[in-house]
Structure 1
Amino acid sequence: MTRPQLLIGLMTGTSLDGVDAVLVDLAGAQPRLIAAQGSPLPEALRRDLLTLQAPAPNEIDLAWQAGNALADCYVDAVAALLAKAGVAASDVTAIGNHGQTIRHRPERGYTIQLGNNARLAERSGISVIGDFRSRDVAAGGQGAPLVPAFHEAIFADARRHRVIVNIGGIANLTDLPRSGDITGFDTGPGNVLMDLWIHRHRGAAYDAGGAWAASGKILDDLLAELLREPYLALPAPKSTGRDLFHANWLAARLTGRTDRIEDVMATLTTYTARTIADAVKATAPGVDDIFICGGGAHNPTLLAALARDLPGVSIASTAALGVDPDWVEAIAFAWLAERFIQRAAGNVPAVTGAAGSRTLGALWPA
């Protein structure tokens, strides 16, 4: 079968910071990024999506209305992307759309990503492949993380033991040894708790450059309390999200404390770094290189904390491997869409815990 060439990848992650859209040429051995487009989510939609992270009144109607509004954001992002690239919709084979996760409960047999793919296909004029996680869950897997197969395809090196760490709202790692099976799982919170804290106290979406965290001091007793979270000790396969790491989770651990807010921020930043480092030490002893992607790649305070916890290990962003860290996940979902078209496996059973390899996704034709 001839490989499709131009595909679009769409990603909205746990951070709820916007829509990442990429146009990718997959004709060659490695994906070639043609254009990328980042679009913020309207604040009202972001609030609705946050509301839907937990049970809410009239949530079925709210979810469908939010899904429709999100699909319209995707349509706008696709149009802007194609205009930037000078490419017609008719030249694109398909859109791979991750959608916005509002519940991730694989232990109950489901995971939900909003985004009304039928509406997206209708309004963009491009076939859409979405709902990538459900088949893996149906096969007994976690449905996450799904990017390790993509990481292996483009980042593995038989000469170097590499770990790829995506630090979005939630952090996940992919262990790529020189030979043998790859592994991967969600390590715990990425930016989600830091974003929550700075938004509450400063009204900002995130701690730009880690500057606020750098102004505080680490509270060792609070860090120890945060590290007692049982999820961290669970064996892989495992995945997590806002279903666990949310405002009430943090509030319960701050009850009765009167810490300076910048010290809490410093501690939350160190917490993310420590949980990643502990996961690397347990999973990938002897690792040569760690490559970071996602929003956390732009937080030098976080990266410095990670380096302190992993002395002697080279840490860089995926830009060093030729892939902009901001677009790795969106490119991955274009790649997974191609896997669907080829009816090839998109999951790694050793990562998700699924009963076997599965073709992931469903098709909404243009």
Structure 2
Amino acid sequence: MKVLGMISGTSHDGIDAAVVDFRIRGDALHGQVEATSSTPYDPALRARILAALPPAATTLAEVCELDTLIGQAFADAAEKTAAAAPVDAVCSHGQTVFHWVARGHALGTLQLGQPAWIAERLGVPVVADVRIRDIAVGGHGAPLVSYLDTLLLGALPGRPAALNLGGIANMTVPGATGGPLAWDIGPANALVDAAVLRTGAHPAGYDADGALAARGRVDEVLLADLLAEPYYRLPAPKSTGKELFHDGYLTAALARHARAVEPVDLIATLIALTAQTVADAVRAAGVDTLVVSGGGCANPTMMRMLADRIPGVRLATSAELGAPPSDKEAIAFALIGWQTLHGLPATLPTATGASAPRVLGAITPGAGPLRLPDPLTGPPASLRLTVAEGVAG
């Protein structure tokens, strides 16, 4: 079965998509990545998304319009990607606009991007709204990539972990005591992007190639203040997002600071914040191999700061395991879609904090009657990914 996985992450910059052809052999699942794409949001749509995010106020009318516009943008991206590799189904994460966490527990989550637009455009079933079922049984609904991480890293020796550096940094430790453990560590690109946007330091709205941070100096006083954030001391599993780490959070931190901070110094300090919080988590978990994915992989300054703080830990990218770093989350949602369509859970209770595993999402039928594969009796024990010739990795 060929499944198209789609997501727009907490950087809110565009839509990542990956087509994976899954085949089950015994208890081993094999997936070949047949096509990938990254489609930037139209600037006007991205501006509307950013304007509606916390701490800003919004309206139900704006939420409704964004749900439609994001859904149509996902349909456009799906059509483009499926033209290169036709698919049997889609799993769309959509765009998270709010993740409700109170007193250390996730109580709700909202992803926009109405899946009906994708189903109409491609004529195939669409799995969507995948986080809430885990939350309904006491989980955080995040990080859902932990299921893919655990299958991929299972054969690695020692104490490996998977790190994703998106808007938020999250980590999965498959061999943790008591079962696989996963959690959101804190901001990766979320505050860096906010700093670039507020200072106008780069027209792209992010620190391209880490060049801005490379020119800056870490402000140790500001860094110490940022590291005092109580979230970092909460036990895992836990989740967070731009509901906490947004531009207003940065404004408050700078207001507490006694002096002005140059834009490049601010960006360097925020990247040091990510490197330090990740390094603390890696050391606490006793990790000896760190497999990294996400946009932070393309930031040499972030990777260098991280490497400096965890000497003796081998750093690799998820490409070594067949998952191109920029596409791993889209691949993860293709896997979640495959699991759902086969009646299999795609959550690990020890990773999300749920009371039990659950089959995720709701299914929007395609052009014809909804016909699902026969349910499988058990989940795969392992996953081997390969990338088809000609697919950019």
Give the TM-score of the pair, scaled to structure 2.
0.87
Structure 1 contact 157–178 (Cα < 8 Å) conserved = no
Does structure 1 residue 104 correspond to structure 2 residue 106? Answer: no
Unaligned runs of 5+ in 1: none
Q: 2:5 aligns with which of 9, 15, 22?
A: 9
- 1:318 matched to which residue of 2? 318
Which residues of 2 match residues 206-245 of structure 1 at below 5 A? 206-245=206-245
- 2:380 matched to which residue of 1? none
Q: Deviation at 1:180?
A: 6.1
Instruction: Provide the alpha-carbon RMSD of the alignment.
Output: 1.6
Q: 1:274-300: CA deviations, max 9, x gaps?
A: 111111112x21x22101101001111
- 1:21 matched to which residue of 2? 17
- 1:264 matched to which residue of 2? 266
Distance in 1, Cα, partners of 2:159 & 2:355? 27
- 1:186 matched to which residue of 2? 184
Does structure 1 residue 249 correspond to structure 2 residue 249? Answer: yes
Distance in 1, Cα, partners of 2:132 & 2:213? 37
Give the letter for the 2:9 counterpart.
G
Distance in 2, Cα, partners of 1:156 & 1:234? 27
- 1:290 matched to which residue of 2? 290
Structure 1 contact 106–137 (Cα < 8 Å) conserved = no
User: Structure 2 vs 1, CA of residues 252 and 179 (structure 1 numbering), >3 Å: closer, same or farther?
Assistant: closer
Q: 1:122-180: CA deviations, max 9, x gaps?
A: 23212100111101111111111111111111222252321110000001000122986
State the secondary structure of the residue aligned to 2:121. Answer: helix
Seq. identity, %: 41
State the secondary structure of the residue aligned to 2:304. Answer: helix
Distance in 2, Cα, partners of 1:178 & 1:109? 26
- 1:142 matched to which residue of 2? 140
Q: 1:4-52: CA deviations, max 9, x gaps?
A: x101000100001110111110115232100011100011211221122
Structure 1 contact 164–290 (Cα < 8 Å) conserved = yes
Q: Deviation at 1:60?
A: 1.1
Structure 1 contact 163–290 (Cα < 8 Å) conserved = yes
Distance in 2, Cα, partners of 1:211 & 1:57? 34
Greater helix proportion? 1
Answer with 137-146 or 255-264: which moved more. 255-264
Q: 1:41-97: CA deviations, max 9, x gaps?
A: 011211221122226565211111111111111111111112233x3xxxx221001
Which residues of 2 match residues 1-366 of structure 1 at below 5 A? 5-28=1-24, 29-54=29-54, 59-85=59-85, 87=86, 92-107=87-102, 109-157=107-155, 159-177=157-175, 181-201=179-199, 202=201, 203-255=203-255, 256-282=258-284, 284-285=285-286, 287-366=287-366
Give the letter for the 2:329 counterpart.
E
User: Structure 2 vs 1, CA of residues 323 and 62 (structure 1 numbering), >3 Å: closer, same or farther?
Assistant: same
Distance in 2, Cα, partners of 1:130 & 1:155? 26
Structure 1 contact 165–172 (Cα < 8 Å) conserved = yes
Answer with 19-28 or 222-231: which moved more. 19-28
Structure 2 contact 163–170 (Cα < 8 Å) conserved = yes
Structure 1 contact 100–115 (Cα < 8 Å) conserved = yes
State the secondary structure of the residue aligned to 2:30. Answer: coil
User: Structure 2 vs 1, CA of residues 106 and 361 (structure 1 numbering), >3 Å: closer, same or farther?
Assistant: farther
State the secondary structure of the residue aligned to 2:116. Answer: helix
Answer with 262-271 or 58-67: which moved more. 58-67
Distance in 1, Cα, partners of 2:236 & 2:176? 20
Greater strand proportion? 2
Give the TM-score of the pair, scaled to structure 1.
0.93
State the secondary structure of the residue aligned to 1:27. Answer: strand
Structure 1 contact 144–239 (Cα < 8 Å) conserved = yes
Matched pairs, number: 355
Distance in 2, Cα, partners of 1:180 & 1:18? 37
Structure 2 contact 153–161 (Cα < 8 Å) conserved = no
Distance in 1, Cα, partners of 2:176 & 2:231? 28
State the secondary structure of the residue aligned to 1:181. Answer: coil
Distance in 2, Cα, partners of 1:192 & 1:260? 19
Structure 2 contact 55–243 (Cα < 8 Å) conserved = no
Give the letter for the 2:112 counterpart.
L
Structure 2 contact 52–58 (Cα < 8 Å) conserved = no
Distance in 2, Cα, partners of 1:200 & 1:98? 28
User: Structure 2 vs 1, CA of residues 56 and 313 (structure 1 numbering), >3 Å: closer, same or farther?
Assistant: closer
- 2:377 matched to which residue of 1? none
Distance in 2, Cα, partners of 1:55 & 1:209? 29
User: Structure 2 vs 1, CA of residues 120 and 163 (structure 1 numbering), >3 Å: closer, same or farther?
Assistant: same
User: Structure 2 vs 1, CA of residues 207 and 180 (structure 1 numbering), >3 Å: closer, same or farther?
Assistant: same
User: Structure 2 vs 1, CA of residues 306 and 55 (structure 1 numbering), >3 Å: closer, same or farther?
Assistant: closer
Unaligned runs of 5+ in 2: 367-393
User: Structure 2 vs 1, CA of residues 251 and 127 (structure 1 numbering), >3 Å: closer, same or farther?
Assistant: same
